[in-house]
Amino acid sequence: MSAMKSSGWVYTFGLVAAWYSSNIGLLLLNKYLLSNYGFKYPIFLTMCHMTVCSLLSYIAIVWMKMVPMHSVNSRVQFMKISALSLIFCASVVSANISLKYLPVSFNQAIGATTPFFTAVFAYLITLKMESWLTYVTLIPVVAGVIIASGGEPSFHLFGFIMCLGATAARALKSVGQEILLSSEEEKLDSMNLLLYMAPIAVVLLLPVTLFVEENVVSITLALAREDTRIIWLLLFNSALAYFVNLTNFLVTKHTSALTLQVLGNAKGAVAVVVSILIFKNPISATGMLGYSLTVFGVILYGEANKRSK
């Protein structure tokens, strides 16, 4: 019995390690490609992610049967999934654009304000009020980002706006997903949702890519002739984008949403440390203080949420 329990712990630890590695790896590789390598096409990069996610989702669900496949039951449900896909695209594209201009450490500090935007959208859309304690815990979340912004040596206004937009879109997607797919007939697990959202995202992103980042395909092919690494980097980067979603689903399934939230807070801090070590971006004491305050606020928010339920 103890051997089974121990193997269960090893499996869960392995899943969490895979989730951390894929999350932080994707973030750092996106930063490397868009900023250090000089591949300045964030929309095309997102489209590559969604194309590979479509293919790997199909293989995992239809061929490997990792989870039962759920069908889309109505045109209305399809429209809801399409709306979520549009918000998802906006979030990922904005996040990738922000990485061109901001260091990963500051990007993570802004991303930690997701609970603030979630609470705002939940109230605006559903008029659902949280307990006063929950709202009080959001004060250090926002204050921390304001302090971090003031002390950020590499602050870039456009990058900051893009990162805020990505964070808000991420929160809007989670609130929208809860509302739009709340009925038992329409509920989809995250793997099935990605199976339907990713191809829709490709269709949405293709015309935008061709219009905003014209000649990106010929530029990428020309770049590949000079340096074949770019093809492998794009393929590996896109596969990582899928594994982020896969490991996210598996960790939630084998632990709980609350555990995932706690692990997510720690992941942000690990990503900050690793990115500073790799990219050696300057960071001030004020910036670190602000980020620490935000993470502290997020932890308090999680605790307040748990108690209110």
Q: Determine the pLDDT at residue 161.
A: 97
| Pair 47, 209: CB distance under 8 Å | yes
| Dist. CA 25–CA 31, nearest whole Å | 10
- Is the pLDDT at 115 greater than 50, yes or no? yes
- Is the pLDDT at 89 greater than 60, yes or no? yes
- Is the pLDDT at 47 greater than 90, yes or no? yes
Q: Determine the pLDDT at residue 1.
A: 47
| Dist. CA 34–CA 61, nearest whole Å | 31
- Is the pLDDT at 25 greater than 90, yes or no? yes
| Dist. CA 294–CA 302, nearest whole Å | 12
Mean pLDDT of the region 68-72: 92
Q: Determine the pLDDT at residue 309.
A: 63
Identify the H or E element spanning 279: helix 257-279
Mean pLDDT of the region 109-120: 91
For the chain, give the percent of residues with pLDDT over 90: 61
- Is the pLDDT at 2 greater than 70, yes or no? no
**Coil, strand or helix: which one is 123?**
helix
